[in-house]
Amino acid sequence: MRISIDRGFSRIATAMASAASMACVAASLLMGLPTAHAAFPDKPIKIVVPFSPGGGADLIARTLSAELAKELGQPVIVDNKPGGGTIIGSDLVAKSPPDGYTLLLSSIAHSVNPSLAEKLPYATEKDFVPVAMLVRSPNVLVVRAESPYKSVKDIIDAAKAKPGVLTYASPGNGTSSHLAGALFEELGKVRLQHISYKGSAPALTDLLGGQTDILFGTSGSVGSFVDSGKLRALAVTSAARSTAYPNVPTMVEAGVPGYVTEGWYGLHAPAGTPAAVIEKLNATARKATGTEFFKSKLVHEGMVVHTGAPSDYDKYVRAEIARWSKLVKTNVITK
């Protein structure tokens, strides 16, 4: 009888030891899980802005970061990494851990660089995953107040009369302003002379001074000059009229069929970021951009909130990559 009892205790002891061993193994496995599986977020998030401080991109990122921080309960830091036409900042994000803690404020440059740059240090369509589109904004075709051109038709007529004589300024090769001008040449069936500058300020200075004829400026960069009467807005490049310029026609209304192009900003994360993290960031970004605080900061920039699912943003960006690749190759545009 005692032998039977001893054997029973032995079996119980063996089972307890086995259970304890399994618990240790489970604990070890849990400790080895990546941080993305922990409650997200549990530390600060960084938004890399591949532009210098002070511009429209910086404004969007800092306004967004304040709203995201409220929703996520963690600091959201803006880190400006300008250079290389946004390539430096983009590369930093592409090579960051795919855990949702490093995000890229992407723009039209994200879709243009694959066709402009001879070689990128990352694969645009493979090394990033979309989080959400944030805003869209038109370019604005402007001339100085004293310009003889009062309409888009005036510019087309003059350009056809003297091909290659009229000049359009831009902040640099491959910028949204440059591409807007190239698209105007293609769809308007005219030939202009492109003058490239190192930034919006010198481009605007020469336009105001009469050294160049026209400019497809960003809404934020030309808005104050239009308001003060120093520049005249002839058309916006968006599909619909801009709330910032309600009395200014679209390019289509002004006589250029099929002409639509917009600047845009959104968020991308490194490829491999867990789907659950992307979903949370998307939902939070959509909520943040819907606040009156966020919208109020964009009024003078001519930007309009435009969000959706990550798949919507992915589809849009891929279409932009294909579209600009064709224009860049046709017009032999280089950096």
Task: Tell me the per-residue pLDDT of 281-320, one tens digit each, with 9 for 90 and over.
Answer: 999 999 999 999 998 888 777 888 999 999 999 999 999 9
Bridge partners (DSSP) listed for residue 167: 193
What does the pLDDT look like over 222-265, one tens digit per residue?
988 999 999 999 999 999 999 889 999 999 999 999 999 998 99
Tens-place pLDDT, residues 32-89: 444 444 589 999 999 999 988 887 888 899 999 999 999 999 999 999 999 888 999 9
Q: What is the CATH number of the domain that holds 316?
A: 3.40.190.150
For residue 155, the model assigns a pLDDT of 97
Last residue of a domain, one of 195, 219, 236: 236
pLDDT (0 to 100) of residue 283: 97
Long-range pairs of 156-163 with CB within 8 A, sequence gap ≥ 24:
156/188, 156/190, 156/255, 156/256, 159/188, 159/190, 159/191, 159/192, 160/189, 160/190, 163/190, 163/191
Longest dimension (CA), the chain: 116
Domains: count for the chain: 2
Neighbours of 164 (CB within 10 A): 10
Angle in degrees, CA 57, 135, 213, rounded to 5? 65
- pLDDT value at position 208? 96
Asked whether residue 74 is domain-assigned, the answer is: yes
H-helix segments, the chain: 2-31, 56-72, 87-94, 108-116, 152-161, 176-188, 200-208, 219-227, 275-289, 292-298, 310-331
Confidence at residue 214, expressed as pLDDT on a 0 to 100 scale: 97
For residue 2, tell me if it sits in a domain: no
pLDDT over threshold 50, residue 16: no
Six token digits for residue 75: 């600091």
Q: What is the end-to-end Cα distance of the chain in Å, rounded?
A: 92
Let me know if residue 194 belongs to a domain.
yes
Residue 321 lies in a domain: yes
Give the Cα separation of 144 and 230 in Å (integer). 6
pLDDT tens column, 130-147: 999 999 989 999 999 999
CATH classification of the domain holding 175: 3.40.190.10
- Tell me what pLDDT residue 335 has: 67
Using the predicted structure, report yes or no on whether residue 329 has a pLDDT greater than 70. Answer: yes
Summarize the confidence of residues 11-20 as an average pLDDT: 44
What is the rounded average pLDDT for all residues in the chain?
87
pLDDT at 111: 94
Residue 294 lies in a domain: yes
Amino acid identity of residue 112, one-letter, is V
Tell whether the model's pLDDT for residue 10 goes beyond 70: no
Q: Are residues 84 and 97 in the same domain?
A: yes
Write down the pLDDT at residue 55.
79
- The overall pTM is greater than 0.85: no
Report d(CA 121, CA 298) in Å as an integer: 33
- Dist. CA 110–CA 252, nearest whole Å: 26
Question: Domain residues for 231?
Answer: 138-236
Q: Does residue 51 share a domain with residue 120? A: yes
DSSP character string of 33-87: S-GGGSSS-SS-EEEEESS-TTSHHHHHHHHHHHHHHHHHSS-EEEEE---GGGH
Residues 129 and 271 in one domain: yes
Residue 38's pLDDT is: 58
Percent of the chain with pLDDT over 90: 70
Considering the domain architecture, whether residues 59 and 124 belong to the same structural domain is answered as yes
Q: For residue 13, how many other CB atoms are within 10 A of its CB? A: 10
- pLDDT confidence bin for 212, thresholds 50/70/90: very high
Joined tokens for residue 173: 């090769």
Residues 116 and 155 in one domain: no
